[in-house]
Amino acid sequence: MSLDTRQFGRTVRLSEEHIQQRLWDAQRRGWALVIEHARDADPHTNYWDLWGTPICDPEDPATVLFEIDACRASFPSHYIRVNACERDRGQARIRDSLLVHSPESRLNFGA
């Protein structure tokens, strides 16, 4: 699968309720959650930085939302995403990824 750099520019902003529902689904499936942030979301030139440590056993989506809000407060001009990873035999595979924050000042991807 290739990622077109225009995809983030057309991404619909997710509501807090939608984010909570997706986090609850990841919790129900037993997936670990990883919060990452990056100044630019261009997959060709940038790595995403980890926020805190992976949340391996989230008991409540509110815990993850608290960490997302803390990341938003610390990095308001960064893109923030949450990856849900399935843990199996020492490997972690990304099963879901949510772009939960994009900078208001950037109308286009990577601008």
- How many angstroms separate the CA atoms of 21 and 7, rounded? 22
How many CB atoms within 10 Å of residue 88?
8
Beta strands in 27-90, from DSSP E residues, in sequence order: 32-38, 49-55, 79-88
Q: Is the pTM of this model over 0.85?
A: no
pLDDT surpasses 80 at 70 = yes
**Which of 92-96's residues contact partners 24+ apart within 8 Å by CB, and which partners?**
92/32, 95/26, 95/29, 95/31, 96/22, 96/25, 96/26, 96/31
The percentage of residues in the chain with a pLDDT greater than 90, rounded to a whole number, is 24
Categorize the per-residue pLDDT at 55 as very low, low, confident or very high, splitting at 50, 70 and 90.
Answer: confident
pLDDT in tens, 13-49: 778 888 888 888 988 888 889 999 998 877 676 788 9
Q: First and final CA of the chain: distance in angstroms?
A: 24
CA distance 106 to 79: 10
Task: Write down the residue that tokens 């990856």 correspond to.
Answer: 83
Q: Are 54 and 63 in contact (CB under 8 A)?
A: no
Residue 18 CA to residue 46 CA, distance in Å, equals 27
